Structure formats: C-alpha cells, structure tokens
Amino acid sequence: MMQPGLYHILFISTALFFIGMYGFFIRRNLITILMSVELILNSVNLNFIAFNKYLWPDKLTGLFFTIFIIAIAAAEAAVAIAIIINLYRTHHSIDVDVAEELKY
C-alpha cells in the first residue's frame, strides 16, 4: 500500500487554505465566514504537523505550535460568536449585507 508523502499533505493543506479564503470572501452568512477562518487555521495545523513529521522529526516544535493554534482558534471563535450574537440583537440577522451603515 502506498504511504502518503509530504507533497500529498501539502496539497491538501494548501487546497484547504484557499477553500477557506474563497469562503471568507464569497459567503454572506457570518457563521459560515467564521467556519472558513477555521478552515484556514486547520490548513496551517496540517502544514505544521506534516513538516514536523517528514522534515524535522527530531524536535516537537510543530506539534506544540499546532496545540496552541487550536486553543487560540477556540478563544477567537468564542469572542467572534459573542460579537455575532450581539450583531443579531441589533440587526436581527447574521447576514453581512445587513451591516451596511459604515461606508465611504
């Protein structure tokens, strides 16, 4: 059976990164935008783990970085969801198009 190599994982993580970026710009629902950001962060996690395993296996820097990214992403999502709930209270919707008061 063929083992997945570094390039396979890098392909997946880069694809995830750009899917996340696409979703961030295209989606109109705030929760979905937040999910796109999580996709970006998870692609970074994959990158770190793959580099750690295939290129620099003697130290655990990449794994530790990944753990911290997961924790920070949770904290960021908590604050973001609190803000989205407040946006729902003021605008009665979580669509980004309703938040349109601040423009040039």
Partner 1 sequence: MNEFFILMKPELMITVIIFILLFIKLSGTIKNDLLLLIIQVLLLLNFLAAFFFNTSGILFDGMYHTDELIAFQKCILNFGVYLISLLFADWFMNTEHLSEFFLLMLSSLLGLDFLISSGNFLMFFLSLELATIPLAAMSNFDLEKKISSEAAMKMILSSAFSSGIFLFGISLIYGATGTINFTELPAQLNGNFLQILALVFVITAFAFKLSIVPFHLWTADVYEGSPIAATSFLSVISKGGVAFVFISVLYKVFQPMHEVWYNIIMLLSIITMIVGNLFALRQQNIKRFLAFSSIAQMGFILVGVSGNSQQGTSSVVYFILIYILSNLAAFGVAAAISSQTGKEKIDDYKNLYKTNPVLCWVMALALFSLAGIPPLAGFFGKLFLLNAGASNANYGFILFAALNMIVSLYYYLKVIRSMFMDKNENPLEKINIHPSTKFALIICSAGIILAGMLSWIYDYIQSLS
27 and 36 Cβ atoms separated by less than 8 Å: yes
Does residue 40 bind partner 1 (CB under 8 A)? yes
Does residue 82 bind partner 1 (CB under 8 A)? yes
Alpha helices in the chain (DSSP H): 6-26, 30-54, 61-91
Does residue 15 bind partner 1 (CB under 8 A)? no
Where in 47-76 is the site for partner 1 (CB under 8 A)?
A: 47-48, 51, 55-56, 59, 61-62, 64-65, 68-69, 72, 75-76
Give 1 or 84: the residue with its C-beta nearer to partner 1: 84
Cα separation, 19 vs 25, in Å, equals 10
Count of residues binding partner 1 (CB under 8 A)?
Answer: 42
Does residue 23 bind partner 1 (CB under 8 A)? no
CB 1 to partner 1: min, Å? 26
What is the maximum span of the chain, computed from C-alpha positions, in angstroms? Answer: 58
Selected binder of partner 1 within 31, 86, 93, 95 (CB under 8 A): 86
Does residue 35 bind partner 1 (CB under 8 A)? no
For residue 54, the tally of other CB atoms under 10 A from its CB is: 14
80 and 72 Cβ atoms separated by less than 8 Å: no
Helix (H, G, I), strand (E, B) or coil at 101: coil
